[in-house]
Structures are given as C-alpha cells and as structure tokens.
Amino acid sequence: MVAPIRDGKGSDIIGPRNIERENQGPDMVRPPSTDSGSLPPMKWSFSDSHVRIEEGGWARQTTIVELPTSVDLAGVNMRLEEGAIRELHWHKEAEWAYILEGSCRITVLDLEGGSYEDDISKGDIWYFPTGRPHSLQGIGKGGCEFLLIFDDGHFDENSTFLLTDWLARTPKEVVAKNFQLFPKLFDSLSEKEKYIFQGKVPNTNVPGIPHNASRSKYRFTHKLLAQSPMKVGGGEVRIVDTGNFPISSTVAAAHVIIEPGALRELHWHPNADEWSYFISGKARVTVFAGGGISRTFDYQAGDVGIVPRSMGHYVENVGSEPVEMLEVFRAPKFEDFSLAQWLGSSPPQMVIEHLNLKKNDALKFIESLQPIKDPIKKNSKL
Ligand code: MN
Ligand code: MN
C-alpha cells in the first residue's frame, strides 16, 4: 500500500482513504521529490463523468467543466449498439473521432451539397469541419464505441443542434410549408429530441444515402491504425494531421505505443496543448511548468491527461502491458521538440557546462547524443 513517506520524511495515512484510487496514482500519493509548487489538475477519468443513458447507447464527456485545464479541446466517449443512431445533427465545433471498438457508419454533407458516407472500424478516424450536418450509426455485431474530440473545451454534448429538437421547436404549419406538405403529416413528430435511439440495422452492402444525391469530393475519414508506423526503440508512433488527412485543419494527433519500461522522451509541443487519452497500460507523466514548478500524474485506460502548450513532459510506461495512447492537439500539424535532439544539436562544450558532469561522464554523454528525434526510448539499464 503506497504511503506519503519518502527519504525518511512524511508519515502513513491513518484517516479515511480511498485505497483503490490511491493505488491507481502512487506518484500522486507519494510524489517524486522533484515535484514542486502548485499546478492545477491535469487528470480526469471518464469513470467520473456523468453518463447519459439512452436507447441503444450512452455518452459521457470530459470538457472544461470536468477538467478546467481542458481548454483547447473537449472529449466525448460514446457507445452505439448495432443499429443505434446518434441522430442527424450539427454543432459550432469541428469534430474529430477515433473508433475504439467495433464499426460505425457515418454520413456528412459538405458545403457544396456533396454527400459522404463511409463504414469504418476500430483504429479509423473521422473529421467533420464546423457546422457540417452529420450522423453516426453502430453497425456490425456489437455496434461500436469511440472517442469524439471537439476543438473547444467549452463544447457540451448536450447542446448540439438536433434535427428532432429543431422540428419540435418550430410551428407545425411552418414545417409543413417548408416541405410543401399537409401539416397533419407531421402530427407524429417527436416532441423532444431523440439524440441517441435504436434504429433499424442498415444493409451495409448498399449505400444508405440516396442514389440521386451528389457525392462529396472530400475525404472525411482516415485509417489511422492501418498507417505503417514509425518504429522506434521502445514502441510505435503514427501521426495524423493535414499532411496525410487534409480536411482535419483544426485537429492533429499521434497514436503512440510505448513498450513496458520504455519512455516517450522528454519533449514539448510549441503549437498547442496536448489532450492525452489512455487506451491501455499504466503511465507516469511529469508536467514541467517552468518557474521551478512541476507535478507528476499517473494514468491508465479511460483517463484523460492535459499538458499545456510548451510545458516539458515525458510519458513513462510503468506497468507490465504496453501503453497505448492518443496525443491530440487543436492544430493543423503535429509539432514537438525533443530535448535529446536539441542538446545533440547544441555546442557540446556549452551542454557540458550546463550539466556539471565529471570529465569522463561528460564525454560519454556528449558522444551518446544524436541530433535526431527518438520519440520512444527503449527500456535500457546502462
Ligand atoms: Mn457531432
Ligand atoms: Mn507530448
């Protein structure tokens, strides 16, 4: 059992405690001695989010309300059974999504009136620019579950623009006039929004959108996990941004696998806050805020982490399973600076003078530095 005792200081906990929770965050109960100063929470678990339960599915969110440091982006974790529909809707924020399990049929309309439909599965992503009307439906045995990312931390999944809500809030005679039909035809309209509801399972062998609809010339989906990864010492990295998925102009991401004991190297992102989502494994992250301030957090599957723009950090796999995670950014491009690359590209004598290394160690260190990025260092016991 972890206790706040370190280097002969501190004491055990004799009052009330939540042991399950403390065991999930050993570095939060007993922070490393390098932690210092005040840093607001950079961790939230979807397990603590309110779950909106609906027919055929559910949704839970992590926004600036749940996690005040979630400023750039908000996240929604959603489940749709086979045939269940997240109804036709739109919103001010752009939407990026990663499918965690199962398969999903998406539809979206572009500004030129082009219609887009795709059936996608685990590891695939989609992106809908601001205001584009769209729908989601679970397909295949078991339906799907996915992570949605919105490019504003103030996003609220419960205040999107829904087809059924709109029609319920519009005089029936106006609805009838709009479709050039008799008002009586609309007597059966839902009196409130449907949001998520069970639909008929679609035949995925044929398109759902009408054959006379014009087809979009844009690509709204991308196979992220099918990308061949950048294989590095301690894991794999797959990056998706406007370089390989041009429509995603406000969200960039990296899918990262870190082997047990390996380290996503010390680095920072110059262009945006990082919104991390942990899919599996156990990870430790220290966020360095400058001014003598740093704080360490522990994460596991279902947790969200934040690293504000330009703050130094690492991700260490401290468990026995691989860490699988997404680093998501409100930016058109994935950008990071590597500490090791930076030092390997700086005047060696200057680097030595910063680090106070003894003569032989200094030479060894300088020889080991490379002016390249090595995003995940393997577990090396030198
Ligand atoms: Mn949406
Ligand atoms: Mn990072």
pLDDT at 176: 97
pLDDT of residue 382 exceeding 60, the answer is no
Mean pLDDT, residues 323-351: 97
Cβ-Cβ contacts under 8 Å for 375 (sequence gap 6 or more)? 230, 232, 237, 256, 264, 265, 267, 336, 338
Spatial separation of the C-alpha atoms in residues 341 and 320, rounded to whole Å? 28
| Contact predicate 375/338, CB 8 Å | yes
Q: What band does 1 get if pLDDT is binned at 50, 70 and 90? A: confident
Q: Which residues surround ligand 1, an ion (CB under 5 A)?
A: 95
Tell me how far the alpha carbon of residue 213 lies from the centroid of ligand 2, in angstroms: 42
Tell me how far the alpha carbon of residue 307 lies from the centroid of ligand 2, in angstroms: 7
By percentage, how much of the chain surpasses pLDDT 90? 96
Spatial separation of the C-alpha atoms in residues 64 and 228, rounded to whole Å? 34
pLDDT of residue 380 exceeding 80, the answer is no
Spatial separation of the C-alpha atoms in residues 105 and 370, rounded to whole Å? 46
Tens digit of each residue's pLDDT (9 = 90 or more) over 37-91 = 999 999 999 999 999 999 999 999 999 999 999 999 999 999 999 999 999 999 9
Cβ-Cβ contacts under 8 Å for 68 (sequence gap 6 or more)? 40, 41
Q: What band does 343 get if pLDDT is binned at 50, 70 and 90? A: very high
Cβ-Cβ contacts under 8 Å for 49 (sequence gap 6 or more)? 60, 61, 62, 66, 77
pLDDT of residue 349 exceeding 80, the answer is yes
pLDDT at 123: 98
Mean pLDDT, residues 160-183: 96
Which H helix or E strand runs over 299? strand 293-300
* DSSP for 153-211, written as a single string: TT--GGGSEEHHHHHHTS-HHHHHHHHTS-GGGGTT--SS--SEEE-PPP-TTS-SS-T
Tens digit of each residue's pLDDT (9 = 90 or more) over 265-291 = 999 999 999 999 999 999 999 999 999
- Write out the catalytic residue numbers: 327
Tell me how far the alpha carbon of residue 309 lies from the centroid of ligand 1, in angstroms: 26
pLDDT of residue 381 exceeding 70, the answer is no
| Alpha-helical runs (H) found in the chain | 19-24, 26-29, 163-168, 172-179, 339-344, 348-355, 359-368
Tens digit of each residue's pLDDT (9 = 90 or more) over 85-142 = 999 999 999 999 999 999 999 999 999 999 999 999 999 999 999 999 999 999 999 9
Q: Give helix 359-368 / helix 348-355 axis angle, nearest 10°.
A: 130
pLDDT at 379: 86
By percentage, how much of the chain surpasses pLDDT 70? 99
Distance of alpha carbon 132 from the chain centroid: 21
Tell me how far the alpha carbon of residue 337 lies from the centroid of ligand 2, in angstroms: 9
pLDDT at 272: 98
Measured from the alpha carbon of residue 159, the closest ligand is 1
Tell me how far the alpha carbon of residue 62 lies from the centroid of ligand 1, in angstroms: 15
Tokens of 65: 């309300």
Measured from the alpha carbon of residue 95, the closest ligand is 1
Measured from the alpha carbon of residue 315, the closest ligand is 2
Task: Say if residue 11 is exposed, middle or buried (CB neighbours under 10 Å; 0-12, 13-18, 19+).
Answer: exposed
Exposed e or buried b per residue across 235-265, where buried means at least 16 C-beta atoms within 10 angstroms of its C-beta: bbbbbbbbeebebbbbbbbbbbbbbbbbbbb
Mean pLDDT computed over every residue of the chain: 96
Q: What band does 359 get if pLDDT is binned at 50, 70 and 90? A: confident
Single-letter amino acid, residue 285: V
